[in-house]
Every structure is written in C-alpha cells, then in structure tokens.
C-alpha cells in the first residue's frame, strides 16, 4: 500500500480543507450503497453507518506519546546490557536483576528456573531466523529476579538487553503487564504472522487458573489450512492483569470496536473480508488505518475518532480507488487535487 501513503503530503491540505467544509456544512448523512450487481459506474456511496464526525476531531494533530498507567511503574535502572553463552548462570552474580529482552545468535534453548516454581519461569527455544528450519522465537522479554538460575544450551551468544517500558498493542514472546505494556480494554487477539501458533495466558492476582488460556494459530501459507489452535480470541484486559505469550514470536491486539466498524464498512461497499492484517504504519488520512485483505485484493480502511472516513485500494496502475469517502473529505480532495481526482469514480491519479 506504499502508493496510498505517497499522498501523505496532500493529506494535511485535505484535512485542513475538510475541517473548513465540516465546520460550514455540518456532518453528512450516511447513504445506502449502490447495488453491486449494477454494471454502470456510478459514484460509490458512503457506508452505513459511519457515525457523525465532530469537526474538532478532524484536525491534523500529533498524537501524544502513550505513557504507562499512573501509579504503575517499573524501575529497570539496575538492568545492564550483558552477553552470556551456553551454560548455567545466576541472576545477582552473572547478571543484575532486571527486565530484559533476550536474543540469541543461533538456535538453542533458554530456561530460567526460580525458587518455588515447579516449572521454569521461562522455557523457550531462541532462534535468530538464519537456519534452514526455524522453530523458535526471535526474542523473549522477561523479568529476572535475584537468585534465578539461567540455563542456556546450543547457543554461542545470548544478549540480555535492558527492556524499555512503553504501551503497545503488539506483544512479543514474554511476560507483560496490563496498564504498563498494553492498555486496558477489549481486544481481538490474533497471531501477527501466518505460519505461527503459540499460547496466550491472561492471569489475575487472586485467581489460581488463568482468565484466558488459548492456543492462537495463523493459517499455513503452503496449504492454506489453519494450524492447531484458534484464529483469534477476544479478551477483556483490566489494569493489573498479566499476559504471558509463549512459543509464538508476536501477537497483535486489535480494538474489538474497530474490528466491528471495519467489518460493517467493508461489507457495506460489497466486499468480503478474508483477513484483517494489521495496523498501517506511517501517515494516514485518519488517526489509525487497518490493512485488510478482501476478495478484490488489499484495501486500507481509514478511521478517525472511531469512524470510517475512507476505504482505499491501490489499483496497480499508479491510481488509487476510494471505495468510500466521507463527503467532506471528497470535497477536500477535489479542491486540493483538481483534475487528478475524479469525484464521481473517486479515483486519484
């Protein structure tokens, strides 16, 4: 979708014009999409329902950096960049206690044994991805406590990098805290990459069994069949809960509300969703955009303030097709791009 992002320099102009249009005329009213069986090329009409847009929400502003939940802090000042090798090591003697991102330069085993634990606190195969067959994970993020015993086998060098705490909705292998590493909320959780499967656990203080215990699995790219596990799981995360991700390199937490809006928007323009692939990085028309694979190819669904403002597809010939545009956004594009934008077919280029 690189060409979609290539119009980023025009976005600021369009958004500025959009603010003026909305302020003058007010939000538009959703329409009913055209019959997809109609062979004539009328303009594609808005997706019902997209909600009302607040003019103030359409200002192009820089999103503030997320910060951990107030009152929940993690002091990692004692962690020190350390490289270990195959063998047995002890936290407090060979490496300071702290929270680390652990990576290896080849494939091998990593265990962390802890007093009072029946099973290892960490049990993973590290894999740097350079082998013919890659069966492990590229990194593990874990808290190492004084007295923990680290067991490494089959790897020449294992690097322990002090971890930085920041909010994210993509979590890699390891242990995470709701409110510090991921915000609380309702999410649909899926494997970030196909051909992977692994476990997700959500634990809560005072409960013996996990709140969530599932095997997540993406489709096998060779056969198209699902691996063992579920395609996605809905979780209701609360501050103070902990999340453990094992045997899978990364999982993505999608806002459940966004997923519902996206499904309504895509079906509203007569397309069928194959998969919702992830959040688009870089500049977007709204405050977040999702890449979606459909029956007509990859599209981009743009949201602003939780509302769909555009459904976009790269046509492959240098042009961009808008399957849906908010009316005021359409007017802003027409003013900004002139003949380069066809307001009837909603094509740029």
Residue range 80-118, pLDDT digits in tens? 999 999 999 999 999 999 999 999 999 999 999 999 999
Q: How far apart are CA 40 and CA 52, in angstroms?
A: 29
- Between 240 and 231, whose confidence is greater? 240
Strands 185-191 vs 149-153: parallel, antiparallel or unpaired? unpaired
Average the pLDDT over each of 9-13, 178-182, 203-207, 343-347 and give the range with the smallest value.
9-13
pLDDT value, residue 319 = 83
Instruction: Name the H helices within the chain.
Output: 2-5, 8-25, 256-268, 327-337
Question: And the tokens for 309?
Answer: 């403002």
Tell me which residue of 143, 142, 167, 141 sits closest to 237, measured CA to CA.
Answer: 167
> CB–CB of 109/153 below 8 Å?
yes
The answer to whether residue 42 scores a pLDDT higher than 60 is no
User: Which 3 state secondary structure label does DSSP give 266?
Assistant: helix
Bridge partner residues of 76 (DSSP) = none
**64/148: higher pLDDT:** 148
Q: Phi first, then psi: give them for residue 254, nearest 5 degrees.
A: -95, 140
Helix 327-337 with 8-25: angle, nearest 10 deg: 130
Domains, the chain: 2-65+256-348 (no CATH), 75-164 (2.60.120)
State residue 156's pLDDT score: 95
Token pair for 56: 């103030």
Alpha carbons 174 and 133: distance in angstroms, whole number: 22
Determine which helix (DSSP H) or strand (DSSP E) holds 247, and give its type and residue range.
strand 242-255
Predicted confidence at residue 329, as pLDDT, reads 83
According to the model, what pLDDT value does residue 91 have? 98
Which range is least confidently modeled, 21-25, 209-213, 262-266, 281-285?
A: 21-25
Q: Report CA-CA distances (Å) from 254 to 192, 259, 334.
A: 11, 7, 33
Of the ranges 16-25, 209-218, 329-338, which one carries the lowest mean pLDDT score? 16-25
Between 276 and 89, where is the model more confident?
89
**8 A C-beta contact, residue 145 and residue 96:** no
Residues 6+ apart with CB under 8 A from 39: none
- Read off the pLDDT of residues 279-336 as tens digits, 9 standing for 90 and up: 776 667 777 888 898 999 999 999 888 889 889 998 888 888 889 988 888 888 888 8
* Residues 157-189: tens digit of each pLDDT: 999 999 999 998 899 999 999 999 999 999 999
User: Of 33 and 242, which is predicted with more confidence?
Assistant: 242
C-alpha distances (whole Å) from 160 to each of 79, 94, 115, 251 are 9, 11, 21, 22
User: Given the structure tokens 């960490």, which residue do they identify?
Assistant: 122
Instruction: Please give the structure tokens belonging to residue 251.
Output: 């999982």
Quick one: pLDDT at residue 178? 96
Mean pLDDT of the chain: 80
Mean pLDDT to the nearest integer, 260-285: 83
Residues in a beta bridge with 8: none
| More confident of the two residues 153 and 68 | 153
**pLDDT computed for residue 282 by the predictor:** 63
Collapsed DSSP state (helix, strand, coil) of residue 338: helix
DSSP annotation of 154 reads: S
Among 19-33, 60-74, 228-242, the range of highest mean pLDDT: 228-242
- Rounded Cα distance between 188 and 172, Å, is 16
Give dist(CA 46, CA 30) in Å, integer. Answer: 6
Q: Annotate 271-321 with DSSP letters as a single string.
A: --EEEEEEEPPS--SSSEEEEEEETTEEEEEEEETTEEEEEEEE-SSS-EE
Check residue 7 and give its pLDDT. Answer: 47
């Amino acid at each position: 979708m690189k060409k979609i992002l290539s119009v980023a320099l025009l976005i600021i102009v369009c958004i500025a014009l959009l603010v003026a249009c909305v302020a003058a005329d007010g939000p538009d009213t959703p329409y009913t999409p055209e019959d997809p069986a109609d062979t004539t090329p009328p303009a594609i009409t808005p997706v019902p329902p997209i909600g009302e847009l607040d003019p103030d929400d359409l200002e192009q502003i820089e999103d503030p950096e997320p910060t951990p939940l107030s009152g929940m802090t993690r002091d990692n000042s004692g962690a020190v960049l350390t490289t270990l090798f195959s063998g047995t090591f002890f936290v407090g003697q060979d490496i300071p206690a702290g929270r680390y991102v652990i990576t290896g330069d080849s494939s091998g085993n990593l265990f962390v044994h802890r007093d009072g634990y029946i099973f290892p606190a960490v049990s993973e195969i590290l894999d740097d991805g350079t082998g013919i067959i890659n069966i492990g994970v590229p990194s593990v993020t874990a808290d190492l406590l004084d007295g923990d015993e680290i067991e490494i086998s089959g790897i020449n060098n294992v690097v322990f990098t002090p971890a930085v705490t920041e909010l994210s909705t993509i979590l890699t292998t390891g242990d995470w805290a709701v409110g510090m590493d991921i915000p609380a909320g309702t999410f649909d959780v899926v494997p970030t990459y196909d051909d992977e499967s692994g476990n997700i656990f959500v634990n809560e203080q005072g409960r013996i069994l996990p709140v969530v215990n599932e095997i997540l699995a993406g489709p096998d790219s060779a056969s198209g069949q699902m691996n063992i596990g579920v395609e996605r799981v809905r979780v209701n995360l609360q501050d103070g809960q902990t999340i453990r991700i094992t045997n899978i390199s990364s999982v993505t937490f999608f806002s459940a509300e966004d997923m519902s809006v996206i499904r309504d928007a895509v079906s509203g323009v007569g397309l069928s969703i194959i998969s919702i692939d992830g959040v688009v990085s870089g500049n977007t028309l709204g405050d977040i955009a999702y890449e979606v694979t459909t029956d007509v190819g990859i599209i981009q669904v743009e949201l602003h303030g939780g509302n769909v403002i555009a459904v976009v597809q790269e046509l492959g010939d240098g042009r961009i097709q808008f399957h849906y545009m908010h009316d005021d956004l359409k007017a802003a594009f027409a003013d900004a791009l002139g003949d380069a934008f066809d307001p009837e077919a909603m094509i740029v280029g």
